[in-house]
Structure 1
Amino acid sequence: AQNADIAAALIEAAEQWLKDQGMHRVLAPLSLSVWDEPGLLTQGHDHPPTLMMGHNKAEYQDWIEGLQYETVKQLFTYDLPVKDGFPPLIGKIVASAERNSKLKIRKVDKKHFDRDAKIILSILNDAWSDNWGFVPFTDAEIDYAGKKFKTIVYEELIMIAEIENEPVAFMLTLPDLNEATKEMGGKLFPFNWLKLLWWLKFPKSSTMRVPLMGVKKELQASRLASQMVFMMIEYIRRNAVANFGTERGEIGWILEDNQGMVAIAEAIEAKINRVYTLYQKEI
C-alpha cells in the first residue's frame, strides 16, 4: 500500500508538471519516443529482459490502471527457437527468391557503417511512416544511432536487401548483451570489464533480438517483400546459430495491429512471450 501511494504521488506530480506546460493528455510510459523502450511490461514477467527492452514489477500495472489510465496500444515481442530452422515452406520461399537475379541480400559493412546506418534509417523512416506513434529520425539522431550501435554491430547479423542495387529493405539483429552482464551485478571492477571486452570481441549469445526490420512502402504487401524478409531472416538465423551459438530469437517489439509483421512472426511459428502496454489519460 505504501509503494502504491508513493507511485500515485509521483504520477500526480508528473501530471501536474505536464499541465503546467500546457499539456492535456498523458501518453506513457515512453522514454523520449517509441524508439526508446516504450510501454509497461504487462505480460511475460517470467522472461528475463533482452537487450534494450524494459522490465518492471507486475504490480505496477494495477497502480497505473487504478489511476484511470486506459490502454491505448499494446506491443508484442515474439519468441522462437532457431537452432533447427524454420518450417519447410520458408525454405521454399527462400529458394524461390534466390533465383531472382535482381534481388540481392548483403551484410552491412562495418568499415562503412556510418553509410549503411544512414541507408537503414532512411528505409526505416519510409517503411514506418504510416505506423502508429511514428516519429521520424532526424539527421542528428541518425548520426547518433550509428555511433551508439557500432560497438555491438556484427556484420553477419544485419542484412540489407537490394533490388537492382537499390536498398529497399533491412533487418537489424543484435546479440543479447544482457546475457553477458547479468552475472556482473552492475559492477565492472575489478575484472568484469575484461569479461565484457572479451564478449564484445568474441560474443556468444544463446538469444538474438530483432529490434527493427523494414521494407520500403512501395513494396510492402508484395510477394517480393515477403521473399526479401524471409531471406534476411533465414540468412541471419544461419549465421547466428553457426557463429554465435544462438538457440532462440526474439522479434519485437511489434504493434498489436501490424498485420504484416504479425503474419511473418506466425509464419515462422514464433509465439508471443511478452506484452508491453502504453497508456493514456486526459488531464
Structure 2
Amino acid sequence: MASSSRTIRPVRTKSDTRDFVELAFRLNRGDPHWVPPLRNEVAGAINPKKNGWFSHAEAQLFLAEREGRIVGRISAHIDRLALEMPPEQGFGPGTGFWGLFEAEDSQAAQRLIDTAEDWLRKNGMTRAIGPVSLSIWEEPGLLIKGHDHAPTVMMGHHKAEYQGWIEGAGYGPAKQLLTYELDVTKPFPPLVQRIIAMGEKNDRIRIRKVDKSRFAEEAATILAILNDAWADNWGFVPLTPPEIDDVGKKLKPIVFEDLIRIAELDGEPVAFMITLPDLNEAIRPLNGNLLPFGWAKLLWWLHRGKAETMRVPLMGVLKRLQGSRMASQLAFMMIEYIRRAAVERFDARRGEIGWVLDDNQGMNAIAETIESKVNRVYQIYQKAL
C-alpha cells in the first residue's frame, strides 16, 4: 500500500482528521459553485462520539499522501442496518460503502478506491456502493449534472472529473437521484389549483403547520410517517433515535413552522413535507469558519428570516395512500401552502425539491405537474468485490 513517495494510510490522529477535513477546501477552492462546509460540522460528522449514525455503523477513513503532501481522502464503511435490508431494495447482506471522496488526480483516486475495497473485503463485504457520505440520509451520490450552480443545504457538489475516475475503477450505475428546481413566485398551473381548491372544501382534510414548542412530539410524528412511507424505497435504511436527535439539534435553528406541514386525514397524520431555507446562502461567505465573526453573520441571517432559495429535502405519505388521488391532493396542498409562506414571509424566489429517486414515478409526476425541471443529477455506483 506504500512506496517511498506514495502512501495510503488510515486516519488515526487529530492531525490526520484535520488533514482529512482541510483537503476538500484546498481541492475545491477554485470552484465558484462549491460551498465550503463548516469545518466543525464536518469534523463532527466523522466523529463516532458526535454522530448518531455510528450507533449502527462503523467506518475507516483513509488519506492519500504523495511526497509529504495530502492528495486524496476516502471513507470505507459498513452500516449494520443496511445489511439487514432486502437485497431487492438496493442494499442487503454483503453490501459495504465508501464515500467522503476527494482526489487530486486519477492515480490517487484509483489507489483510494482500491484501499476502501480492500477494507470492505477484509470485513466480509462482497459488494461496494459509493459514494455515500456517510449515511444514505446525508450526502449520497456523485454529482454528474448541475456543476454550473451551487448546491442547496445538505446536498453535495463534486468535481466533474470524478465521474470518469470512478467509472474507470470498474463501477457501474446503481441508482440516480434527481433534484428539481422551480420559480416559486409563479402560481401553479390551473389543474393544480383546482385540485387544491377541491381539497380545501373537503372536511376530512387538514393541512397544519408544525408546532415548534412541541418539537420532539412533532419530530416523532414525522419520523413515523417517514419510516412507513419510505419503507419500500430503494436504499431505505430506517432513521434511528440517535440520528433524529442529531438532525433535530442541527436543523432546529432553521425550522420555521409555516415551512413544515403535516397533512391529517380524518384527524390522523398521514403525510408531511419539510422545507428548509437554503442555509448555504449564509455559510458560503464564511469559508468554513464560525470564528471570529461567522457566528454573528449566521445569527443575523437566521434572525432576518429571508432566503432566496428553499429546499424540500423530505416529503412522505403513508404507504396505504400511495398511488391514490388523495396522496397527490395532499402533496399539492402542502406544496402550495409552503410556497405561499416562502414567498410572502421569506421573499423566496426559487425552490428545490429532492433528492428524488429516478424511478419514483409518483414524486416525479408531481414535480413535473408543478412545472419544475431537473437541475441536478447524482449517480450512486456499485461494483462486485
TM-score, reference length from structure 1: 0.97
Q: Give the whole-Å Cα distance in 2 for the aligned partners of 1:136 and 1:106.
A: 25
Alignment of 1:179 with 2:281, yes or no, is yes
Alignment of 1:114 with 2:216, yes or no, is yes
Q: Give the whole-Å Cα distance in 2 for the aligned partners of 1:244 and 1:262.
A: 26
Query: What are the Cα deviations for residues 33-66 of structure 1, in whole angstroms up to 9, with x where unaligned?
Result: 3211100001110120100001110000000001
Alignment of 1:49 with 2:151, yes or no, is yes
Alignment of 1:84 with 2:180, yes or no, is no
Aligned-CA RMSD value: 1.3
Query: What are the Cα deviations for residues 105-150 of structure 1, in whole angstroms up to 9, with x where unaligned?
Result: 0000000011001100110000001100111122333333333321
Q: Which amino acid aligns with 1:92?
A: R
Query: What are the Cα deviations for residues 163-182 of structure 1, in whole angstroms up to 9, with x where unaligned?
Result: 12110000000000001121
Give the 3-state SS of the residue equivalent to 1:252 in structure 2. Answer: strand
Q: Quote the residue 2:377 is aligned against.
A: 275
Q: Quote the residue 1:4 is aligned against.
A: 106
Q: Quote the residue 2:258 is aligned against.
A: 156
Q: Quote the residue 2:60 is aligned against.
A: none
Query: What are the Cα deviations for residues 249-279 of structure 1, in whole angstroms up to 9, with x where unaligned?
Result: 0000000000000000000001000000000
Q: Which amino acid aligns with 1:259?
A: Q
Q: Give the whole-Å Cα distance in 1 for the aligned partners of 2:269 and 2:104.
A: 54
Q: Which amino acid aligns with 2:120?
A: L
| Partner of residue 239 from structure 2, selected from 137, 148, 151 | 137
| Partner of residue 168 from structure 2, selected from 66, 71, 83 | 66
Q: Give the whole-Å Cα distance in 1 for the aligned partners of 2:246 and 2:111.
A: 35
Q: Residues 115, 2 of structure 1: CA spacing in aligned structure 2 closer, same or farther, 3 A cutoff? A: closer
Q: Which runs of 4+ in 1 moved over 6 A?
A: none
Q: Quote the residue 2:290 is aligned against.
A: 188
Q: Quote the residue 1:263 is aligned against.
A: 365
Q: Give the whole-Å Cα distance in 1 for the aligned partners of 2:244 and 2:288.
A: 29
Unmatched tracts of structure 2, length 5 or more = 1-102
Q: Quote the residue 2:268 is aligned against.
A: 166
Q: Which has the larger radius of gyration?
A: 2
Q: Quote the residue 1:27 is aligned against.
A: 129
Q: Quote the residue 1:99 is aligned against.
A: 201
Q: Which amino acid aligns with 1:40?
A: L
Q: Give the whole-Å Cα distance in 2 for the aligned partners of 1:127 and 1:24.
A: 29
Q: Quote the residue 1:199 is aligned against.
A: 301
Q: Which amino acid aligns with 1:163?
A: L
Q: Which amino acid aligns with 1:9?
A: R
Using CA pairs below 8 Å that are at least 6 residues apart, which structure has the higher relative contact order? 1
Query: Identity, % of aligned pairs?
Result: 62
Q: Give the whole-Å Cα distance in 2 for the aligned partners of 1:228 and 1:238.
A: 16
Q: Give the whole-Å Cα distance in 2 for the aligned partners of 1:238 and 1:217.
A: 27
Q: Residues 167, 12 of structure 1: CA spacing in aligned structure 2 closer, same or farther, 3 A cutoff? A: same
Q: Quote the residue 2:138 is aligned against.
A: 36
Query: What are the Cα deviations for residues 86-115 of structure 1, in whole angstroms up to 9, with x where unaligned?
Result: 111111111000000111000000000110
